Amino acid sequence: MSTSANRELETFENPKPERDYEIQLDAPEFTCLCPKTGQPDFATIQVHYVPDKLCIELKSLKLYLWSFRDEGCFHEAVTNRILDDLVAACSPRLMTVDAEFYVRGGITTTIRASHEKA
- Name the residues annotated as catalytic: 34, 41
Are the C-beta atoms of residues 12 and 71 closer than 8 Å to each other? Answer: no
DSSP 10: -
Are the C-beta atoms of residues 73 and 103 closer than 8 Å to each other? Answer: no
Are the C-beta atoms of residues 62 and 100 closer than 8 Å to each other? Answer: no
